[in-house]
Amino acid sequence: MRDLHRGGPLHMLQQVGHDADGAIARLDLGPFRPFLVSHPDHLKHILRDRSDNYPRGAAMWDALGRLAGKGIGGEGAQWHASREILKPAFSARHLSSASEQMIDSILGAVQDLGRRAATGRPVDAGREMTRIVQRVIDPLFFGRLVPAEEGDRLGDAIATAMGSLLWRMAMPFMPHSIPVPGDRAFKAATRTVNEILRPVVHQARAGGAGGDGNDVVTRLLNGVGADGAPLTDEQVCDDIVALFVAGSESSAIALSWVWVALAQHPHVAEEVVREVDAVVGRDRPRYEHIRKLNYTQMVLKEVLRIYSVGWAVPRVALEDDVIDGVAVPAGATLAISPYLTHRLDSVWPDPHRFDPTRFTPERNRSRHPLAYVPFGSGVHQCLGEAFFGQEAALIVAAILGHYRVELAAPVGPKLSLTLQPREPVELILTPRR
């Protein structure tokens, strides 16, 4: 465990990744020595070609399962059943039909943000992006069942829970009966999340859903599990918690990194503002604007390349295997690292340079299909990829259409369960005249 203290986990990951240069390496975490995987060819083998041999089940999923359950956040038959129930909620058709609701939510949230920023004091991007994202997902996902006044407490609890799991990831051999750093905070945060979200299911079951029947709560209540029986309240609750964690925490972190990147690269920010003005102008944003915000979409992709929120995704080998000449024994943990994949010199020329034009259609076609994996790949690829792209483009356009955004102080990254800002991302918003 010495390496976790000398320079921190991110320094260790970067050093091992640099030395490996795409080859499969081992992370030395004392008695826990997972394989570290970053080359696109190796990702293809694990996530696509032999995905049946590499299910979830490593330390991260075990720890996260204590918060998000074993349904959509797990593995196996129940995960598949939940995914099939939820898939239509993330289809292109449904996202198109839900766009007006999404735009209303974003514009209302940005107006509220403007009132808080009018004092001239910096606002916390993490909290503000969480508020906006929750404002979006509550009607679309939960039929407005989540109490608005609980939003900040819910966002703080999820962030705390996710931020307290790194030691559990690094020490999977430690029984849960033996406390490690972060356990107390995780348990308290999990209690808060359950106190707020689990009553949503009981209210919906009793007929209190406020949506149109297409929200995910109603879909889950009407769905069946792997055994062909209707989902229990416990199973529905697990999936709701998992969706809220993914839909709010990860999205809010990614959006916070957007403002860091734009502040660090003002010429990119100026180009995004020019595009927003040209495409949206002073009009109300519309669904058809999204596909016209080409440069903005490329910026969002480059942010997710540089700041890979899901910096490591573990898998476990069920049977002995060989990957590119490296023997992988049954039971071994493999840590797939998008953070390192997105920094490989052999795939990304000058990989540490922020360059949105990497994502032109021509350059996308010429790249290995698994060189860019912020949403994973294969059977577990994130259902919300298109949802995030739509939501994020509209949020950035709505904010930059009305405000000039500055960073109050420099911000660096740190590793937790996700790649998070080391310091609060404080933004100064000035109305555009």
* Residue 275 token pair: 């595009």
* pLDDT of the residue at 127: 92
* pLDDT of the residue at 170: 67
Give the CA-trace dihedral at 273, 278, 283, 287, to 10 degrees: -90
Tell me: the pLDDT tens digits for 283-341?
899 999 999 999 999 999 999 999 999 998 889 999 999 999 999 999 999 999 999 99
Rounded-to-5 percentages of helix, strand, coil across the chain = 55, 10, 35
What is the amino acid identity at position 419? L
The answer on pLDDT for 60 being more than 70 is: no
Q: Is the pTM of this model over 0.85?
A: yes
CA atoms within 13 Å, Cβ hemisphere of 300 = 24
CATH number, domain containing residue 269: 1.10.630.10
| Structural domain range at position 299 | 2-431
The answer on pLDDT for 189 being more than 70 is: yes
* pLDDT of the residue at 371: 98
The answer on pLDDT for 7 being more than 70 is: no
Report for 9-18, 263-272, 379-388: range of highest mean pLDDT: 263-272
In the chain, how many domains are there? 1
* Percentage of the residues of the chain whose pLDDT score is greater than 70: 94
The DSSP-derived string for 101-134 is HHHHHHHHHHHHHHHHHTTSS-EEHHHHHHHHHH
